[in-house]
Amino acid sequence: MGERILDVKNLEIDFHTYAGEVKAIRDVSFHLDKGETLAIVGESGSGKSVTTKSLMGLLANNALVKGGQILFHDEDLLKKTEKEMQNIRGKDIAMIFQDPMTSLDPTMKIGRQIAEPLMKHKKVEKKKALAQALEILKLVGITDAEKRINDYPHQFSGGQRQRIVIAIALVCYPEILIADEPTTALDVTIQAQILDLMKELQEKIETSIIFITHDLGVVAGMADRVAVMYAGQIVEYGSVDEIFYNPKHPYTWGLLNSMPTLDSTNLEAIPGTPPDLLDPPVGDPFAARNPYAMKIDAEKQPPFFKVSDTHYAATWLLHPDAPKITPPEEIVRRQKLFEQLEAKKEI
């Protein structure tokens, strides 16, 4: 695709707890190109937020980076000091958090909160910074922005607060925007508005987005590529169409199966729970929950098998010697659609 601005290689992160070392992130690699949106999807506890916090240098005190690199324009962020990271955070890489109420200072007018990153990172004088804050407030769709710029967070609705949080994240025109479940606390209509807004702003300021979510449904209209995470590892990645219509990992099947579609309303939750990362399983971490698991799944971790130039999945089902199995009905339906889409492309 385009120019690569972020390259995460073999990232390993443990958490030191009273019970022992939790192996939270286990050999995770992915990249991000200029102007694209990468969605990282998985159940809670799969390691999505830990991964993105490591990009920002915001890991908890008990976190230990055991290995790997986070290359931003070929410079390893893991080697930077806290002071150096403070200059990158908010200016080059910004983050929208889940809950807008905890990200906003209740005692400070929102105009000042939006202007602050400009004053800090770009050394813009206060009057100019407030003028720019007003512009971005209009851009994120706050009505009567001139009047509202002097209001406090509690005077806004949840959806408006989330727009303000987005304004703060985007005011310095960061190269990378990390959105961690940015619409979880909002109702569906406002959720759709916020996602549309993010796409619109992305085109205007050419930022690249890493979008974290447990909801595959949100990803369809949002992402270019998708990485599916499970038990601290990426188990499948590909273009949004490949993951939606031609998924190969049983965990991705499970996630898609538990998602409502227009045709199917009988949702199936994935049985069981993710493994304990204090003592990760030897083989495929999904084996215990996988109805298609084979003997080898309990013995050996699967490597990534190539499905296409852009699509890889870590499952033994893709091994040439694996038995041919029929995926769930919903997945078969999607794969047929995918074949039709691909056939049209070839015409």
pLDDT tens for residues 83-135? 999 999 989 999 987 776 678 999 999 999 999 989 988 899 999 999 999 99
232 is a domain residue: no
**Six-digit token pair at 288?**
């215990």
261 is a domain residue: yes
- pLDDT (0 to 100) of residue 227: 97
Domain ends where: 223, 258, 281?
223
234 is a domain residue: no
pLDDT at 303 over 80: yes
Q: Work out the angle at residue 148's Cα, subtended by the Cα atoms of residues 147 and 153, and round it to the nearest 5 degrees.
A: 155
- Kindly state whether residues 46 and 160 are assigned to the same domain: yes
- pLDDT (0 to 100) of residue 245: 94
- Kindly state whether residues 149 and 217 are assigned to the same domain: yes
236 is a domain residue: no
- pLDDT (0 to 100) of residue 166: 87
pLDDT tens-digit readout, 279-297: 999 999 999 999 999 999 9
- pLDDT (0 to 100) of residue 267: 66
- Kindly state whether residues 253 and 335 are assigned to the same domain: yes
Select from 218, 323, 277 the least CA-distant residue to 23. Answer: 277
Domain ends where: 223, 251, 271?
223
Say what percent of the chain tops pLDDT 70: 96
* Residues β-bridged to residue 71: 7, 76
pLDDT at 214 over 90: no
Say what percent of the chain tops pLDDT 90: 67
- pLDDT (0 to 100) of residue 274: 93
- Kindly state whether residues 147 and 192 are assigned to the same domain: yes
pLDDT tens-digit readout, 246-288: 999 999 999 998 876 666 566 678 889 999 999 999 999 999 9
- Measure the CA–CA gap between 222 and 239, rounded to whole angstroms: 12
Calculate the average pLDDT of the chain.
91
231 is a domain residue: no
Q: Work out the angle at residue 25's Cα, subtended by the Cα atoms of residues 292 and 297, and round it to the nearest 5 degrees.
A: 20
- Kindly state whether residues 137 and 192 are assigned to the same domain: yes
- Kindly state whether residues 175 and 286 are assigned to the same domain: no
- Kindly state whether residues 269 and 192 are assigned to the same domain: no
- Measure the CA–CA gap between 199 and 53, rounded to whole angstroms: 22
- Cβ–Cβ under 8 Å, residues 37 and 220: no
- Measure the CA–CA gap between 96 and 313, rounded to whole angstroms: 29
66 is a domain residue: yes
* Residues β-bridged to residue 93: 89, 176
pLDDT tens-digit readout, 331-347: 999 999 889 888 887 76
- Kindly state whether residues 205 and 68 are assigned to the same domain: yes
Domain ends where: 223, 249, 281?
223
Q: Read off the CATH number of the domain in which 109 is found.
A: 3.40.50.300
- Judged by DSSP in three states, 338 sits in helix
- pLDDT (0 to 100) of residue 263: 62
- Tell me the residue range of the domain where 252 lies: 241-346
Residue with tokens 């105009």: 111
- Kindly state whether residues 47 and 189 are assigned to the same domain: yes
230 is a domain residue: no
Least confident of 187-191, 202-206, 211-215: 187-191
Element (H, E) at 305: strand 305-308
Q: Greater confidence, 346 or 304?
A: 304
Q: Greater confidence, 59 or 190?
A: 59
Residue with tokens 């003028």: 131
- Kindly state whether residues 22 and 128 are assigned to the same domain: yes
- Cβ–Cβ under 8 Å, residues 256 and 247: yes
Residue count (the chain): 347
pLDDT tens-digit readout, 30-57: 999 999 999 999 988 899 989 999 999 9
pLDDT at 233 over 80: yes
309 is a domain residue: yes
Least confident of 5-14, 68-77, 182-191: 182-191
- Kindly state whether residues 179 and 246 are assigned to the same domain: no
- Measure the CA–CA gap between 10 and 68, rounded to whole angstroms: 5
- Kindly state whether residues 111 and 66 are assigned to the same domain: yes
Query: Based on the structure, what is the number of domains in the chain?
Result: 2
Give the contacts of 217 (CB within 8 A, at least 6 positions apart). Answer: 259, 260
What is the mean pLDDT of the segment spanning 316-322?
96
- Measure the CA–CA gap between 216 and 161, rounded to whole angstroms: 24
- Measure the CA–CA gap between 292 and 271, rounded to whole angstroms: 13
